[in-house]
Amino acid sequence: MKNRRDPAVHVLLIHQAFASLDEPGGTRHAELARYLAEQGHRLTIIASPVSYLTGKIGAAGQAGNVAEGNQQAQDQVASVQPNGITIRRTYTYPTLHKSFVHRVFSFISFMASSFAAGLGVKGVDLVWGTSPPIFQGVTAWALARLKGVPFMFEVRDLWPAFAIGVGVLRSPILIRLSLWLERFLYRQADLVLVNSPGFLEHVRQGGARQTALLPNGADPRMFTPQEQGTQWCLRWGLEGKFVALYAGAHGMSNDLGVLLQAADLLQTASPHEGGSTREKAQIVIVLLGDGKEKPALMNEAQRRELTNVVFLPPVPKAEMAEVLAGANACIAILKPIPLYATVYPNKVFDYMAAGRPVILAIDGVIRQVVEEAQAGLFVQPGDPQALAKAIQELADDPQRARRMGCNGQRLVEEKFDRAELARELSQILIGLVKKGS
């Protein structure tokens, strides 16, 4: 319960990739916003109508393409939620996944349109910008200074460091400009908020004056018992199979080609390498989601003649409970880049909240969480043999898999419950507003 003596604050959130619970994509902010509103706070969220996951214009933003420079059109795409959260979708250049140049145009178009929309939001107590994309941090900073209110900059991803590490950002000039912009925002922010303890040192070295950690987590109340996944398995012909699920973006960073190699190993392994032929046939790897690399991954699976791999479209977060209930184990994987040892992926906490064992091909701080809770198996990133072995181990020992799932669920309930994290965020927001008044 919110302390009645605590003042309610009006937060303006600039977030191009914001996804509601009825849309596919990461819903950290939708879940936090819901709980903040229940505590009496007001939130105005300016977001893109173009899905950051799929690159397509969603149903919520069909009017978004006519919103630029037209306040009446913008008002048509604004919506006041029952809990008092206002979401406004503003114009964004729609070809997000076409190329790097088109992606930059998408970011800059949203930076401009969200600034115009933000100018019209009255009675704001604090502006919250979130990165990536980092460009919207400029919008949030400018609006905060014009309105004379605190600026909170949230770092969900160490951009541009990750983009440089994975090879997306190569131009020396763009790298220098990006690093300058990153340091500028860290130094200008009244508070830099991070979602992983692994980010703290980086942002402090970049010049952040004040930092706070609000880790990723999950809402255990959003997930259902395993029996609820029966219909989902029947719908996709997965009944009776051991389902190893990957859910999320299909991008360069996700290293899903290694997962296809692991599927190939599982499909071609002899009975002496871990069970009978019948047991091998029961394992199905499901890749659910979307992203720029998905067509190439589907072509590669076809080339390898992988009959044990199923590609499924993304689903809204509201439907993920049924999906996860139908899975027997869940996979989190990133490229073997040292910087990725700093991340706390949202999907890992969702997997654990749903009571599913995690097969983790990510080293670092998230490995510590999973291993200390005995909530899954760690494998070295980039190693398809180790990944295949871990999947087979859990398929061969379902009781062990269930114990790990229960351990992870208990950890989320005790330390990473989204409702409790929202209470911490409420105090952070109130403290910033009081300090700035």
Q: In this predicted model, what pLDDT tens digit does every residue of 373-384 receive, in sequence order?
A: 999 999 999 999
Which of 215, 201, 120 is CA-nearest to residue 428? 215
Task: Tell me if 10-217+417-436 shares its fold with 220-415.
Answer: yes
The angle at the Cα of 61, spanning 60 to 63, to the nearest 5 degrees, equals 125
- State the Cα–Cα distance between residues 269 and 416, nearest whole angstrom: 38
- Determine the CATH number of domain 220-415: 3.40.50.2000
Can you count the helices (H) and strands (E) in the chain? 17, 14
Write out the two tokens for 352: 């654990």
Instruction: Return the pLDDT at 229.
Output: 80
pTM above 0.85, yes or no: yes
- Please check whether residue 103 is in contact with residue 52, taking contact to mean a CB–CB distance below 8 angstroms: no
Which of 225, 20, 14, 224 is CA-nearest to residue 110? 14
- State the Cα–Cα distance between residues 68 and 76, nearest whole angstrom: 12
- The mean pLDDT of 350-372, rounded to a whole number, is 97
DSSP state of 196: S
Q: pLDDT tens digits, residue range 102-126?
A: 778 888 999 999 999 999 999 999 9
Give the domain ranges of the chain: 10-217+417-436, 220-415
Helix (H, G, I), strand (E, B) or coil at 430: helix
Distance spanning both ends of the chain, measured CA to CA: 25
Write out the two tokens for 100: 């790097």
- Residue 80 pLDDT > 70: no
- Residue 74 pLDDT > 50: no
DSSP state of 191: E
H-assigned helices in 200-283: 200-205, 230-235, 256-268, 277-281
- Residue 81 pLDDT > 80: no
Instruction: Return the pLDDT at 285.
Output: 98
Model confidence band, residue 354 (pLDDT cutoffs 50, 70, 90): very high
Q: pLDDT tens digits, residue range 249-303?
A: 999 999 999 999 999 999 987 444 444 443 444 899 999 999 989 999 999 999 9
What fold, for 10-217+417-436? Rossmann fold (3.40.50)
Which of 346, 307, 306 is CA-nearest to residue 330? 346
Write out the two tokens for 289: 């989601």
Averaged pLDDT score across all residues of the chain: 88
Instruction: Return the pLDDT at 420.
Output: 97
**Left (φ > 0), alpha (ψ -120 to 50) or beta: where does 50 sit?**
beta
Count the Cβ atoms, other than its own, within 10 Å of residue 1: 6
- State the Cα–Cα distance between residues 128 and 154, nearest whole angstrom: 7
- State the Cα–Cα distance between residues 114 and 10, nearest whole angstrom: 17
Model confidence band, residue 227 (pLDDT cutoffs 50, 70, 90): low
Instruction: Return the pLDDT at 5.
Output: 54
Instruction: Return the pLDDT at 309.
Output: 97
Q: Give how far the C-alpha of residue 67 lies from the chain's centroid of Cα atoms, to the nearest Å.
A: 27
Q: Which amino acid is at 88?
A: R
- Residue 406 pLDDT > 60: yes
**How many CA atoms lie less than 13 Å away from 128 in the CB half-sphere?**
29
- Please check whether residue 330 is in contact with residue 356, taking contact to mean a CB–CB distance below 8 angstroms: yes
Model confidence band, residue 22 (pLDDT cutoffs 50, 70, 90): confident
Q: pLDDT tens digits, residue range 174-201?
A: 999 999 999 999 999 999 999 999 999 9
81 or 243: whose pLDDT is higher? 243
Helix (H, G, I), strand (E, B) or coil at 97: coil
In angstroms, the Cα distances linking 417 to 32, 236, 342, 353, 410 are 11, 31, 21, 9, 10
